[in-house]
């Protein structure tokens, strides 16, 4: 039990740090409410599980050794974050009911899942992180495959919980009686953060 608590704590502490994945969950929670934003959290969790599985399969070693492949994935992720930020900046906020956090439009779980998935998947360094983390918890156990499967599943559960937490915070803020202007500023601020994050990925070493 101490082993699994330490592993979950490590993943949680990394996941809970504000970043693109938590920001998109927060924004969807504020715009559409917690129940719909769970689709975003599910997309985030799915990408995290696939990244953990890729690390377990050795893709992390490949990315660490192939600078060109890492650079390509990095630029694709940066381009999507910039696109998403511009889309959020330009999208109207009058479709959002700032009193209830509900959208006047139809449910859109499919593209919310897509955004949550692509934002999380656009970070290739997550695979490198899992590649570095997993060996610390494998030890000399004979049931290595089973332990990696459990760890990948726990990564997904933790990612979903953190994204749902941020979505709930967004929905809570939206449920407060804030003005439409404040909601619009919040929306544009998050969009600007996505553009800033995308540019930062490109210019960062």
Q: What are the DSSP calls for 95-119, one per residue?
A: TB-TTT--BSS---HHHHHHHHHHH
Residue 7 lies in a domain: no
Residue 48 lies in a domain: yes
Residue 10 lies in a domain: no
Lookup: tokens for 156? 């997904």
Residue 2 lies in a domain: no
8 Å CB contact between 173 and 34:
no
DSSP tally for the chain: helices H, then strands E: 9, 0
Strand partners, 103: 96
What is the rounded CA–CA span in Å between residue 48 and residue 154? 10
Q: Per the structure, how many domains does the chain have?
A: 1
Residue 170 lies in a domain: yes
Residue 12 lies in a domain: no
Per-residue tens of pLDDT for the chain, all 205 residues: 677 787 788 788 778 877 888 888 988 888 888 888 999 999 999 999 999 888 877 766 776 677 777 677 677 767 777 877 787 677 654 444 434 333 434 557 888 999 899 988 887 778 777 877 777 666 555 566 777 888 889 999 999 999 999 999 888 877 665 555 666 676 677 677 767 777 776 676 5
What is the rounded CA–CA span in Å between residue 193 and residue 27? 12
Residue 8 lies in a domain: no
Domain that holds residue 41: 18-203
Residue that the structure tokens 């996941």 belong to: 15
Residue 158, helix vs strand vs coil: helix
Name the pTM for this structure: 0.70
């Amino acid at each position: 039990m101490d082993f699994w608590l330490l592993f979950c704590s490590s993943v949680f502490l990394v996941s809970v740090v504000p970043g693109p994945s938590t920001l998109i969950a927060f924004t969807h929670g504020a715009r559409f409410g917690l129940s719909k934003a769970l689709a975003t959290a599910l997309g985030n969790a799915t990408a995290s599980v696939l990244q953990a599985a890729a690390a377990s399969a050795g893709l992390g070693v490949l990315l660490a050794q192939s600078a060109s492949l890492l650079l390509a994935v990095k630029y694709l992720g940066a381009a999507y974050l910039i696109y998403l930020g511009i889309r959020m900046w330009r999208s109207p906020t009058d479709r959002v009911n700032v009193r209830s956090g509900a959208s006047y439009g139809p449910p859109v779980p499919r593209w919310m899942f897509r955004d949550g998935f692509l934002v999380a998947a656009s970070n290739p360094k997550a695979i490198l992180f899992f590649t570095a983390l997993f060996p610390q918890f494998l030890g000399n156990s004979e049931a290595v495959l089973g332990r990696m499967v459990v760890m990948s599943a726990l990564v997904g559960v933790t990612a979903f919980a953190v994204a749902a937490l941020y979505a709930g915070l967004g929905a809570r803020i939206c449920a407060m009686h804030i003005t439409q202007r404040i909601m619009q500023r919040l929306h544009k601020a998050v969009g600007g953060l996505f553009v800033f994050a995308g540019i930062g990925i490109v210019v960062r070493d």
